[in-house]
Amino acid sequence: MTSTYISTDFWNNKRVVVTGGSGFLGARVVQRLIALGASEVFVPRSINYNLVNAEDSIRLLKDTKPNIVMHLAAKVGGIGDNKLHPAEYFYENLMMGVQLFHSCWQEQIEKFVCVGTVCSYPKHANTPFSEDELWNGYPEETSAPYGLAKKMLLVQSKTYREQYGFNSINLLPANLFGPGDNFDEATSHVIPALIRKCFDAKNQNENEVEVWGTGTASREFLFVDDAAMGIVSAAEFYNDSEPVNLGSGEETTIKSLASKIAIATGYEGKFVWDSSKPDGQPRRKLDTSRALKEFGFRAQTKLDDGLKKMADWYIDSKLS
């Protein structure tokens, strides 16, 4: 049973652009929009529209003539890739977001929906993270370039609303996971990385899996289908520049997460913690009360259930 507001006929006759709409989260958002009756949903491809270039942002909007633009496209990756390519994470995410936002204002688009990141929060924010904490410190260093690039759209949203009356919203989801996630060894996040490692170790009869950090850091994870539900609900019902967290309310340490993934994958070996590698932000847990109040969002999928679905999907894909 969902607790989100019940959709009306809002999406009927709406033309929607979803950047990143072919990606892990974006594909779910597109499916939900179509199911709700959006008349046309456009998914721009980077080969046709390089949104780092302002000219391509304008051309995209002129070609598609949307009522609403949902910006999910981002350069993302794990701690290792963020450490190796900080300038790319900053520049590409900043330019994509700021220029597309400005182009939407220029073209008088009805609404801009920006999906930001929990990485925008200060490294030592009070837990659970309230949206009011966003400006109370510098983000965790390894993800700061990405987090700050996304954070600039919060400023853009407020200033363009104040000066121009332009309607935009900013959503801050917890770490996402689910079937179809990125399992690439170099760029994957912690859940797909651990699922892959446990699966490989089990298949190769190895009894050790190495994990970065000490395992004491905590994270909050949001199942990707729940995130899509929250984004589409906010796009329909929320009209304010104050940012909104989207989360599950479940905080778990990386050590506990590893144990859960071992159960989900059937791995019976041990984990070896490499404390020379960074933990990232010490804790992450979101205050999700604003999302519940403003558009009735509450996550539906428990972490254990989501991990089982994700592990089963990955194992099936490898064995098929």
pLDDT digits (tens, 9 = 90+) for 283-306: 889 999 999 999 999 999 999 999
> Residue 130 — φ and ψ, nearest 5°?
-90, 145
> Which of these, 170, 194, 199, lies nearest to 273 by C-alpha position?
194
Per-residue pLDDT for 78 more than 90?
A: no
Q: Which candidate, 20, 88, 95, places its Cα nearest to that of 55?
A: 95
pLDDT at position 1 is 41
Confidence grade of residue 85 (pLDDT, cut at 50, 70, 90)? very high
Sequence-distant (6+) residues with CB within 8 A of 108 are none
Confidence of residue 82 (pLDDT cuts 50, 70, 90): confident
pLDDT band at 279; cut points 50, 70, 90: confident
Q: Does an H or E element contain 68, and which?
A: strand 68-71
User: For residue range 222-272, what is the model confidence (pLDDT) as tens digits?
Assistant: 999 999 999 999 999 999 999 999 999 999 999 999 999 999 999 999 999
Q: What is the mean pLDDT of the chain?
A: 94
Residue 58 DSSP label: H
Res 100: pLDDT: 98
What's the whole-number mean pLDDT along residues 149-172? 98
Q: Is 273 helix (H, G, I), strand (E, B) or coil?
A: strand
3-state class percentages of the chain: helix first, strand second, coil last, to nearest 5: 45, 15, 40
- C-alpha to C-alpha distances, 279 to 128, 192, 273, 301, nearest whole angstrom: 19, 17, 10, 26
DSSP letter string, 255-268:
HHHHHHHHHHHT--
Spatial distance between the Cα atoms of 133 and 38, rounded to a whole number of angstroms: 35
Write down all domains in the chain, each with its CATH number in brackets: 15-181+220-250+283-301 (3.40.50.720)
Q: Percent of the chain, pLDDT > 90?
A: 87
pLDDT digits (tens, 9 = 90+) for 103-152: 999 999 999 999 999 999 999 999 999 999 999 999 999 999 999 999 99
Q: What are phi and psi of 232, to 5 degrees?
A: -70, -35
At 3 the pLDDT is 58
Q: Which residue's structure tokens are 């000066």?
A: 163
Can you tell me the distance from the alpha carbon of 113 to that of 71, in angstroms, rounded to the nearest whole number? 6
CB 118 within 8 A of CB 248: no
Strands lying side by side in the sheet with 175-177: 175-177, 218-223, 251-253
Instruction: Evaluate whether 67 touches 15 at the Cβ level (below 8 Å).
Output: yes
| Residues noted as catalytic | 146
**Which value, in Å, is the radius of gyration of the alpha carbons in the chain?**
19
- pLDDT at position 6 is 67
For residues 233, 236, 242, 244, the Cα torsion angle rounded to the nearest 10 degrees is 10
Cα separation of 174 and 120, whole Å? 11
Q: Write the DSSP symbol of residue 147.
A: H
Query: Left, alpha or beta for 205 (phi > 0: left; psi -120 to 50: alpha)?
Result: left
C-alpha–C-alpha distance, residues 246 and 298, integer Å: 8
C-alpha–C-alpha distance, residues 55 and 37, integer Å: 30
Instruction: Name the pTM for this structure.
Output: 0.93
- The least confident of 78-87, 187-196, 211-220 is 78-87
